[in-house]
Chain A
Amino acid sequence: MNTLFDKIWDAHVVNMIEDGPTQLYIDRLYCHEVTSPQAFDTLRDKGIKPFRADHIIAMPDHNTPSDQQEEITDPIGRKQVETLAANCEQFGIKHFAMGTKDNGIIHVVGPEKALSLPGMTIVCGDSHTSTHGAVGAIAMGIGTSEVAQVLASQCILQSKPKTMRINIEGELQNGVTAKDVALYIMSKMTTAGATGFAVEYAGSTIRNMSMEGRLTLSNLSIEMGSRAGLIAPDEITFEYLKGREYAPKGEAWDKAVEEWKKLRSDDDAVFDKEVTYQAEDIKPRITYGTNPGAGIAIDECIPTLESIPEAEQGQFLSQLQYMQFEPGEKLEGHPVDYCFLGACTNGRIEDFRAFASVVKGKKKAENVVAWLVPGSWLVRKQIIEEGIDKILEEAGFELRLPSCSACLAMNPDKVPAGKLAISTSNRNFVGRQGPGARTVLASPLVVAASAVTGVITDPRKI
C-alpha cells in the first residue's frame, strides 16, 4: 500500500537519524552557474573532492544570452559562467558549455537526454527541479548548502514530506494545455496549497498527456508549494526516453523498463491528501496578480474587491496596483508589449509546434516585441528540422538561442519597467522579468494568439 513517492524514497534511504531527518542517496545532481559557486568553495574549504563526480552534470543557463553566445558582456554574469566551467574542470564534472550542442536549460536538457530516468532521486539548486518528476522520479530543488552536501557525500538530509495526489479526469478542451491545467490547480489551491507535500499527478487526463505536457505540469509543482511533482512512468514515458543519448540500450533497456513498470502507487495506497479536478472545467488561463495563483480563465474578469475576503483585500489591491489593473476588469483585449515563449516551463518542441500552429499564415503585431527562445540546442535543432523556424519567420518572428532568457532577468532579455509581458514562464512576481516589469502568465497558445493581435487573446477565437 505504498505510494509512488514512498517506493522511490524508501529505496534511497541510507540512514535514518533518530528524531531527525533521513539521509537520502541522490542519483543525479545537476548544477548551474548561479547556485553552485559557493558550494564548490565549500569543497575547497574542506579540502575534499566530489564523492561521486560521475553522478553530476553541470551547465550554465541563467546568464546565457539568447541573441548571441559568443560572449557574455555583463562581467559579473560572465564570471559566474566561467567559474562553473573552471569548477567542473578542477573537479572532473561533465560540463555542457554555453553555445555547444549539449547546452540548454537544465530542466529541458535532463529529460531530453534521458539523464533523468524513472525511479531516480534528482536534485539541483533550482526550485524548478520538480520538472524531472514527470519521468517518475523524486526531483527536488535544494539550496546551495545542500548542493555542497551532495557534492561531498552524494546524500542530503531531508525530512520526509507528506503525500498528495492530484487527479485530473476527462478530456481537455480544445485550446487547453498542461500549462492551463497547472494554472487552474494553483488558482484553486493557492501557491501554498501543497507546501509540505510531495505531489503525484494522476487520472485519465494525465495518462493521455504527452511527455512535454507532463514536464510542464511537474515544473509548476513548486508554484503550488510542492517541492516534487511525480507522474508514474508508462508507455508514453518509455516511448519518450527510448533511444535518447543517455538512456539504457539493448538488454539493459528492457530490464530497466521491467523495473520502471513497478513504479506506480499501489491501488490501496493512502495519500495524506487527495483532490480531484475535472478537465472539462478548465479553460485557457491567464494570471492578473503577482503570484501564479492569482489567475482567471481568459474570458473571465479580475475578481471584484467585494468578492475578496476583507483580510486579503489590501494585498489584492497592491498586486493590482503593481499590475496597473482594476478590480473587475476584463483582461481579454488588453494591449501587451512583450511576448515570451520559452523557459523550463514551456521551452520544448511541443510548445513551439503549438505556437507555430497559431501564428502560421498570420503576422506578428507591430506593437509587440516577441522573444521565442528554445529550451535547448536539441529543441532548436528539432524546430529547424521540422521547418517550424520558417513558419515563425514568415509570420515575422525570430528564433533565438537557448537560454532561461526572459524568465528571470539575469541576462540581457529583460522586460523594461512598466511594460506588460504575456509569458509562458513560471513566475509573475514583482520585478521577476526586470525591475518594474509586469507579467501575465499563460500557455504557448495564448501567448501566440496575443503576439499576432497585440492584445491578450483567446486562442480559440482566432
Chain B
Amino acid sequence: MAKQKFNIIKSTCIPIAIDNCNTDLIIPARYLASTTRDPKFFGDAFMHDLRYDAQGAPVSDFVMNLPEYSEAPHEGVHEIVVGGQNWGSGSSREHAAWAISGYGVRVVISSSFADIHRNNLLNCFVLPVIVSKEFQQELFESIAADPQTVVTVDVPNQTVTNEATGKSESFSINAYKKHCLMNALDDIDYLLTQKDKIEEYEQKA
C-alpha cells in the first residue's frame, strides 16, 4: 500500500456516523478472495454494500454518494474519515485498511477503534486518531452544518483541530510509530534488523 510520509494534514472530511462499523461493512467478504495488492481494487470496494445496491447502482442517500462528499480524496479534500465509535470491529481482515487507504483516505478519526483494525491501519500508513466522544460529536455537527469544515491533524505535535470551532485535542501515538509514520518506515524493516536478538532469544528459550 502507498507509503506517504506524515506531517501536517489539513483536509475536509467524510462523516461515516455508524457505530460498531465492522470490517465486513468496510469491505464485504467477497472482495477478500483476491491475491492482488492493487489499491484501486480495494478502494472501489470501500463501504461497497452501503455505497451500491444489489444491482450495482449508487445508493443516492449514502453519505459517500452525496454531492458534498462524493469527490474522490486528494490533497486537502476528503483525506479524513470521521467514523462512529468502535470503528473496525470484527474480522481481522487487513483488506479493510487497504480499502480505506486505496480509496485515498489518510486519517480516520473516532472515539474508539477495534484493536486489530487499529494496528492494520497503522501498518497501511493510515493514521487512526482517537478523540473524546464530545470532540467526535461536535465534529459530526460541524461537518453537517458545513461540509467544507476543515480538520487539521498535526502529527509532529500530536494534535487534531476542528477548524470550524477552533477546538483542539491532543492524541496519543508512541514515539516509535510516530517516527515510522513521519519517515515512511515499515515494522518489517525494523524486525529484519533484529535477527541477532531473535536468535539470541531462541538460544535461551
Contact = CB atoms under 8 A, between A and B. Distances in A.
Interface of A: 11, 14-15, 17-21, 23, 25, 34-35, 37-38, 41-42, 46, 48, 51, 62-63, 74, 76-77, 79-80, 83, 125-127, 129, 140-146, 148-149, 152-159, 161, 191-192, 195-196, 222-223, 225, 227, 291, 312, 315, 408-410, 417, 427, 429-432, 435-436
Contacts of A41: 37
Interface string B81-105: 0000110011111110100000000
Interface in B151-205: 174-177, 186-188, 190-192, 194-195, 197-198, 201-202, 205
Contacts of A62: 32
B25 A225 contact: no
B116 A142 contact: yes
A63 B33 contact: yes
A46 B187 CA distance: 13
Of B32, B113, B123, most A-chain CB atoms within 10 Å: B32
Nearest to B1: A145
Contact of A431 (B24, B192, B194, B195): B24
Contacts of A80: 33-35
Interface string B13-57: 000001110101100111011110100000000000100001000
Given A25-B205, A143-B123, A144-B94, A34 B187 contact: no
Contact of B188 (A35, A37, A145, A161): A145
A118 B56 CA distance: 48
B36 to A, nearest CB: 8
A149 B86 CA distance: 26
B14 to A, nearest CB: 19
Contacts of A429: 22, 24-25, 90
10 contacts: A15-B197, A25-B205, A141-B92, A143-B92, A145-B187, A152-B191, A157-B187, A191-B20, A191-B86, A315-B19
Contacts of A144: 94-95, 120
* 6 tightest A-B CB contacts, nearest first: A20-B176, A145-B123, A143-B94, A143-B120, A19-B175, A141-B92
A83 B174 contact: no
Contacts of B114: 192, 195, 225
B43 to A, nearest CB: 15
A114 B95 CA distance: 30
Contacts of B187: 145-146, 149, 156-157
A76 B29 CA distance: 12
Nearest to B202: A25
Contacts of B186: 145
A20 B173 CA distance: 9
